[in-house]
Amino acid sequence: SASGPNGHGPNGHGGPNGHHGFGRVARKEDARFIRGQGNYVDDIKLPGMLYGAILRSPHAHARLLSVDTAAAEAHPQVRAVITGETLAGLNLAWMPTLSNDVQAVLATDKVRYQGQEVAFVVAETHYAARDALELIDVDYEALPPVVDARTALDDGAPLIRDDVEGRTDNRIFDWEAGDAEQTGRVFDDAEVVIAQDMLYPRVHPAPLETCGIVADMDKVTGKLTVHTTTQAPHAHRTVYALVAGLPEHKIRVVSPDIGGGFGNKVGIYPGYVCAIVGSIVTGRPVKWMEDRSENLMTTSFARDYHMRGEIAATRDGRIRGLRVEVLADHGAFNGTAQPTKFPAGFFHVFTGSYDIEAAHCAVTGVYTNKAPGGVAYACSFRITEAAYLVERMIDLLAAELGTDPAELRLRNLLRAEQFPYSSPTGWEYDSGDYPRTLRTAMDIAGYDELRAEQADRRARAADAREDGPLMGIGISFFTEAVGAGPRKHMDILGLGMADGAELRVHPTGKAVLRISVQTQGQGHETTFAQIVAHELGIPVDDVDVVHGDTDQTPFGLGTYGSRSTPVSGAATAVVARKVRERARIVAGAMLEADPEDLEWTPGRWIVRGDPSSGATMQEIAMAAHGSLELPDGVEGHLDATTVYNPPNLTYPFGAYIAVVDVDPGTGKVTVRRFIAVDDCGVRINPMIVEGQVHGGLADGVGMALMQVMAFDEDGNHLGASFMDYLLPTSMECPSWELGETVTPSPHHPLGAKGVGESATVGSPAAIVNAVVDALHPYGVRHADMPLTPANVWRVIQGRPFRT
């Protein structure tokens, strides 16, 4: 592999950036970011640009009786007021969601969640647009809301989606995977069975930059240009084409710098459609940017899975079966983002990293009076929930059997010789050596010493010799399935999930790579240049990466589900190798040798066995554009294109260990240490990979200890600001201790697997397991996230402390 145990490539650390490939290359994009010269959507100002603002529903559920816009329209600075009725006239009041449902752009009949879009004002200034919202008079008739998903299917529950003919209840889908009968048999004769209800609460990706758009309809050329915060520019273009009936070549989607996406910027929001209509109506560009509360209240939430897990095992700790029932809260419109065939995303990879005989899951999706658009927040399409479930169940089993949770995992983890492994729910894991990764994490942690320290502290606490914090140690081991995906298995809204790549090499040997994925902070301008540099043997600084503009890049489905490296990264390697093969033919002509007799050494084609006779990529590029006679049928230049359809997903994995201290007096949890050993195959840029892991671990601290989108019984959103919805900072995070193992993916041309969501997926379970472990002397088996001081304190009240 190109990456050694510490991730330093063959080219060492490499300074900026004459480096020829993989390794710790400094991020090219930081040159503008650290100077404050990034270019975000809100920085864009077009001549004559107007500003939009949205009037939102104060009710979670209400009938819309009337919307009076006369006073707003009379405001001297207002240029247009758009309502559901306006849109209905254009057949745009409803739009398709990513899950083949429909969603109201502006309400026409009812409002179905607090914050739902009711009217759109376009004015000369942002402030005027906001002021005019207050002049709109809306008459609502309040209806009882469905706030708790567990009551959504009750007899007499208010019907949320009465817009759909024939609908009589709030059920969206029932879906299952695995073998129910076989799993039932395993449970029937199992020696030990444990069940637990748990909630993965509703959370939010909360990127620092909120969502927004500048829409510009040029009436002369008929071309619509939208600058927008999108993780998937080409997919957005196609959806706009289908919704608005515009031809795709008359739509240009530009995604400039993005201040974090985390899944929040996958979907199309009503504000985008309104801004486009606003531009069509006024003939001027229209900007719409959400504020923080709008972002938290109305855009893609994540999780909200009510789960019941059951695990079956032998007395001596061999796991035999796993069964799960899920009630999934999808909000008022089913707008979750995932491949079409999988309404619960990839949740059914829930047997995780273990060798389990039989497994079955059943997921029921329901409508509630909450914002739509789930799955976002570094989730690998619901694998976050799946990993959390199995890792909690294993700890519950360990507690029941009185076995050490590390020992129980080592006994049941898939073994290296089982790969490629076919899981009981139909997945084929590509590669792994799980026990080695867990042992690496245990070595870094000093696991045995930690357990000894814990035993000593518990004994002291029991003898009342100490009333200090309670110490807990939590492990989680996760496997993800990322890199969606093979065309034969998956699509989103009918769009296959292959990605194009185009590579041009200029006469002087400088290269331009065009890709469809969209960086939101992951450093693609650097890592994708590194892939080209690695394949062509040219400096990283000689490669420019063009992305985020549908007029300039080939089609592809965008960045989410950690698919950029597995899919577009593979496309980049393949297109660079095509260029290299074209260069071989040109080199053959230059060296007067049969191309078959040439061999590649980094940066040069040489005559086999004779390094003194060769041509560098730069020399070959010049010759390819020059007057050198080429063999018949060989075109000049070196440019190439490709489309990469991945043969399988990649399966990154990791072992995480959290050490926490819990103050029994206040319930406050402190994460003392966190050890994370990730295996994402070959690392292109180990420094960027570590940055991705750091970010995801912080996400885990946020979800495990601080975050929930709560609602009161009227459906009022209680987390609409950063005063109520808490983001983790360095104050709550320990200094992360990272390790790595490298098990290359056998089917990826570079051996790389995705990593962008790994730590968010894997870390919450480690922290919750650690907190529950700390509370073990109180007999606590489980506690739901977020483990805020108040929640932890409440869990142990009235329970005696026993070791």
* Residues of this chain that bind ligand MCN (CB under 6 A): 207, 260-263, 378, 520-524, 527, 559-565, 569, 680-685, 688-689, 692, 695, 752-757
Q: Which residue number, 231 or 412, has a Cβ lying nearer to ligand CUM?
A: 231
Taking CB under 6 A as the binding criterion, the range among 375-383, 577-585, 707-715, 745-753 that sits at the site for ligand CUM is: 375-383
Distance, in Å, from the CA atom of 477 to the CA atom of 442, rounded to the nearest integer, reads 12
User: How many beta carbons lie within 10 A of that of residue 746, not counting itself?
Assistant: 14
Which one-letter amino acid corresponds to residue 125?
T
The answer to whether 363 and 328 have CB atoms below 8 angstroms apart is: yes
Q: Is 339 in the site for ligand CUM (CB under 6 A)?
A: no
Closest to 240 in 3D by CA, of 251, 249, 230: 251
Cis bond leading into 285, ω under 30°? no
Residue 478 touching ligand CUM (CB under 6 A): no
Nearer to ligand CUM, 128 or 375 (CB): 375
Q: Which is nearer to ligand MCN, 395 or 679 (CB)?
A: 679
d(CA 31, CA 551): 25
Stretch that binds ligand CUM, among 359-367, 373-381, 451-459, 655-663 (CB under 6 A): 373-381
Residue 684: contacted member of ligand MCN, ligand CUM, none (CB under 5 to 8 Å, by partner type): ligand MCN
In the list 41, 276, 363, 379, the residue contacting ligand CUM (rule: CB under 6 A) is: 379
Would you state the structure tokens that stand for residue 673, as one six-digit string?
Answer: 């240490």
Question: How near is the Cβ of 123 to ligand CUM at its closest, in Å?
Answer: 33
Tell me if 262 contacts ligand CUM by CB under 6 A.
Answer: yes
Q: Which of ligand CUM, ligand MCN, none has residue 680 at its interface (CB below 5 to 8 Å by kind)?
A: ligand MCN
Separation between Cα atoms, residue 479 and residue 651, nearest integer Å: 6
User: d(Cα 135, Cα 360) in Å, to the nearest integer?
Assistant: 54
Q: Is 399 among the residues that bind ligand CUM (CB under 6 A)?
A: no
**DSSP 8-state code for residue 87:** H
**Distance from C-alpha of 341 to C-alpha of 425, rounded to nearest angstrom:** 14
752 binds, among ligand CUM, ligand MCN, none (CB under 5 to 8 A by kind): ligand MCN
* Least spacing, CB of residue 789 vs ligand CUM, in Å: 29
Say how far apart CA 265 and CA 562 lie, in whole Å: 14
Taking CB under 6 A as the criterion, the residue among 263, 474, 509, 569 binding ligand CUM is 263
Burial class (CB in 10 A: 0-12, 13-18, 19+), 422: exposed
Structure tokens at 278: 């606003």
Q: Tell me which amino acid residue 92 is.
A: L
Please report how close the Cβ of residue 14 comes to ligand MCN at its closest, in angstroms: 13
Q: Does 378 bind ligand CUM (CB under 6 A)?
A: yes
- Binding partner of 524, given ligand MCN, ligand CUM, none, CB within 5-8 angstroms per partner class: ligand MCN
**Shortest gap between Cβ of 76 and ligand CUM (angstroms)?**
42
Task: Render the burial of 657-691: b for 16+ CB within 10 Å, e for the rest.
Answer: bbbbbbbbeebbbebbbbbbbbbbbbbbbbbbbbe
Name which of ligand CUM, ligand MCN, none residue 25 binds, using a CB cut-off of 5 to 8 Å depending on partner kind.
none
755's contact among ligand CUM, ligand MCN, none, with CB below 5 to 8 A by partner kind, is ligand MCN
Q: How far is the CB of 415 from ligand CUM (least distance, A)?
A: 30
Q: Which of 133, 328, 375, 575 binds ligand CUM (CB under 6 A)?
A: 375
User: Would you call 802 exposed, middle or buried from its count of C-beta atoms within 10 A (0-12, 13-18, 19+)?
Assistant: exposed
Instruction: Name residues contacting ligand CUM, limited to 589-648 (CB under 6 A).
Output: none
Kindly state the smallest distance separating residue 261's Cβ from ligand CUM, in Å. Answer: 6
Identify which of residues 44 and 232 has a Cβ nearer to ligand CUM in the complex: 232
Give the list of residues 6+ apart from residue 91 with CB closer than 8 angstroms, or none. none
Closest approach, Cβ 263 to ligand CUM, in A, equals 2
Residue 457 or residue 753: which is nearer to ligand MCN going by CB? 753
Which of the ranges 25-33, 374-382, 467-475, 680-688 carries the binding residues for ligand CUM, by CB under 6 A?
374-382
Where in 541-560 is the site for ligand CUM (CB under 6 A)? 560
Contact 650, 754 (CB under 8 A): yes
CB of 696 to ligand MCN, least distance (A): 7
Nearer to ligand MCN, 559 or 618 (CB): 559
Q: Which of 474, 403, 476 is nearest to 438 (CA)?
A: 476
- The whole-angstrom separation of Cα 348 and Cα 748 is 23
- Is 328 among the residues that bind ligand CUM (CB under 6 A)? no
DSSP collapsed to 3 states, 735-783: CCEEEECCCCCCCCCCCECCCCCHHHHHHHHHHHHHHHHHCHHHCCCCC
Which one of ligand CUM, ligand MCN, none interacts with residue 689, CB within 5 to 8 A by kind?
ligand MCN
Q: Which is nearer to ligand CUM, 347 or 560 (CB)?
A: 560
Q: Identify what 298 binds: ligand CUM, ligand MCN, none; CB under 5 to 8 Å per kind.
A: none
Contact (CB, 8 A) for 194 and 396: yes
Task: Give the x/- contact pattern for ligand CUM in 724-763, rule: CB under 6 A.
Answer: ---------------------------------x------
Angstrom CA distances, 50 to 46, 77, 128, 269, stand at 9, 10, 10, 19
Question: Which one of the spans 11-19, 372-380, 432-440, 769-777 is the region binding ligand CUM (CB under 6 A)?
Answer: 372-380
Per the rule left: phi > 0, alpha: psi between -120 and 50, beta: everything else, 324 is beta
Residue 657 CB, shortest distance to ligand CUM, in Å, is 25
Q: Which stretch binds ligand CUM (CB under 6 A): 92-100, 145-153, 377-385, 508-516?
A: 377-385
Q: Distance of CA 348 to CAs 386, 427, 663, 687, Å?
A: 7, 9, 37, 32
The interface partner of residue 375, options being ligand CUM, ligand MCN, none and the CB cut-off 5 to 8 Å by kind, is: ligand CUM
C-beta of 178 vs 205, nearer to ligand MCN = 205
Cα gap 705→116, rounded to integer Å: 29
Nearer to ligand MCN, 423 or 530 (CB): 530
Could you say which residues in the range 209-248 bind ligand CUM, by CB under 6 A? 231
Is residue 266 near ligand CUM by the rule CB under 6 A? yes
Q: How far is CA 509 from CA 538, 541, 640, in A?
A: 8, 11, 14
Closest contact distance (angstroms) between CB of 569 and ligand CUM is 16
* Contact present, 274 and 54 (Cβ < 8 Å): yes
279 vs 298, beta carbon nearer ligand CUM: 298
Report strand pairing: 604-607 vs 610-616. antiparallel
Q: Name the 3-class secondary structure at 498.
A: coil
Query: 297: helix, coil or strand?
Result: helix
Which one of ligand CUM, ligand MCN, none interacts with residue 500, CB within 5 to 8 A by kind?
none
Cβ nearer to ligand MCN, comparing 18 with 260: 260
Residue 341, Ramachandran bin (φ over 0: left; ψ between -120 and 50: alpha; else beta): alpha
Are 554 and 500 in contact, with CB atoms under 8 Å apart? yes
Least Cβ distance, residue 37 to ligand MCN (angstroms): 18
Q: Can you give the binding site for ligand CUM, defined by CB under 6 A?
A: 231, 261-263, 266, 375-379, 560-561, 757
